[in-house]
Structure 1
Amino acid sequence: MVDSGAMRADGGKDLLAGYVTGPAAATEATAVALARAESARVVVLVEGVSDQIAVETLAGRRGRDLAAEGIVVLPVGGAHGVARYLRRFGPEGTGARLAGLCDAGEAHIVQRGLATAGLGTPSSRADLERLGFFVCVEDLEDELIRTAGPAQVMEVLAAHGDLGAFRTIQRQPAWRGKDEAAQLRRFLGAGSQRKLRYARLLTETINLDQMPQPLDALLSAV
């Protein structure tokens, strides 16, 4: 189900309008993207819906219409889902051009999937990039937080009514005194709706010439 009518804290239209939300977001977003990917010229494989939102938000900011270009961003439900989609849309499948984004901890899974699908034998991050796959240091949320900086992220939280909830996490014994960037990453990952919401908000906030390198490079590659 696509939730296009939810409201945010300041009364404006929800920034997730047009995206699948709720408990079944991952499964349903994949199903929606899969239907479009069958005839796509380029299929961009990302781990989750928040990554999809960030990629499509940046594309929009750069004036690009991915659908018109025949590009589909497909959330695969985690790195372990990459291999089957590489086969489905690679040389043995539809023959689409493939690209993607992954977390550093799962890069080896993507490397193995590319080799299995006959797309190359990448053994390093540079090899992955030559094949159109870009690696986030931790994950894309971490990249966005580090690029924006904790102070700017907290300004965005305040503007959308979430700073108080973040302060509550900061006071929890397990997180008290920890690095603010780590606290923010924990906060954004604490709820699926929040993670999706801020994937777009932070991508909209960061200056276009200061985007996280993996996200910027991915979009430039397709």
Structure 2
Amino acid sequence: MEGLTWAEADETRRTTAVLLEGVSDVAAVREIALRQGVDLERVSLVDLGGVTNVRRVLLQILAVTPSAEILGLCDAGEARFVMRALEAAGRPVDHEQELPSHGFFVCRADLEEELIRALGAGRTVQVIESLGLGAKLLTLQQQPAWQGRPLEEQLHRFCGVASGRKELLAGALASELRPGEEPEPLRLLVERLTRV
């Protein structure tokens, strides 16, 4: 189950761990995986609580279940943490471009930015308003630091600023994606999960 450490989960049924930076990434991956028919009884969506924990969590998982398949998402600016973790686990990666062949798929800025780009600004605003958060978005847009900034930047800030909101919006934005609209890193990860 999501939220458990690998050691607390039932390893007799879980063969794949998906390492995700936080709860918002877990929500988005869960939404798309369920829609694609992935058996989440065999997959553990692991909330790292921040990418800097990836080495520790990866090594813990492999200590308990050496044969576990390890997959994940990471942001381009934080790929180095994943590469160091894989090296510590005896799975060295020479270049960031090789991460997908090791099961890690790289988002340009982060998953929220990928979801906003995939949906477009207009549809993203519609999702925010449907959740009753339109007034809060307007408040952010009226702040001097955000006035006049491109709508995509405002949306990215809004979707990533509060942890509870991040999780809610990530799942909601992912649920609005039509088949074939999934951002490439998310699509490739879920395609890999359909084969476990």
- With structure 2 as the length reference, what TM-score do the two structures score? 0.91
Indicate if the aligned counterparts of 1:101 and 1:135 stay in contact, CA closer than 8 A: yes
- Number of the residue aligned with 1:198: 169
Deviation at 1:34, TM superposition (A): 5.1
* Count of aligned residue pairs for this structure pair: 191
Contact 1:125 1:134 in 2 (8 A): no
Q: Post-superposition, which runs of at least 4 consecutive aligned residues in structure 1 deviate over 3 A?
A: 29-34
Q: Give matches, 1:45-64, under 5 Å.
A: 45-64=19-38
Residue 4 of structure 2 corresponds to 31
Q: For 1:178-197, what aligned pairs fall within 5 Å after superposition?
A: 178-197=149-168
For structure 2, the 5+ residue unaligned runs are none
What is the letter of the counterpart of residue 138 of structure 1? A
Runs of at least 5 residues in structure 1 that lack an aligned partner in the other structure: 1-18, 20-28
Q: CA deviation at 1:157?
A: 1.3
Is this contact kept in 1: 2:99–2:105, CA < 8 A? yes
The 3-state SS of whatever aligns with 2:19 is: strand
Partner of 1:84: 56
Greater relative contact order structure (CA < 8 Å, 6+ sep): 2
1:41 lines up with 2:12 in the alignment: no
Q: Secondary structure at the match of 2:18?
A: strand
* Amino acid paired to 1:126: Q
Instruction: Tell me which amino acid in the other structure corresponds to 2:37.
Output: G
- Indicate the percent of aligned positions where both proteins have the same amino acid: 38
Call closer, same or farther: CA 1:38–1:65 in 2, change over 3 Å.
closer
**Deviations 1:120-139 (Å, cap 9, x if unpaired)?**
x2132331000000111111
- Of 198-207 and 160-169, the range deviating more from structure 2: 160-169
Of residues 74, 80, 98 in structure 2, which corresponds to 1:127? 98
AA aligned opposite 2:88:
T
**Measured at CA, do residues 88 and 32 of structure 1 come closer, stay the same or move farther in structure 2, by a change above 3 Å?**
closer
Residue in 2 that maps onto 1:75: 47
Q: How far 1:38 moved relative to its partner?
A: 4.0
TM-score of the aligned structures, taking structure 1 as reference length: 0.81
Query: How much does 1:49 deviate?
Result: 0.8
Aligned position for 1:108: 80
- Asked if 1:143 corresponds to 2:114, the answer is yes
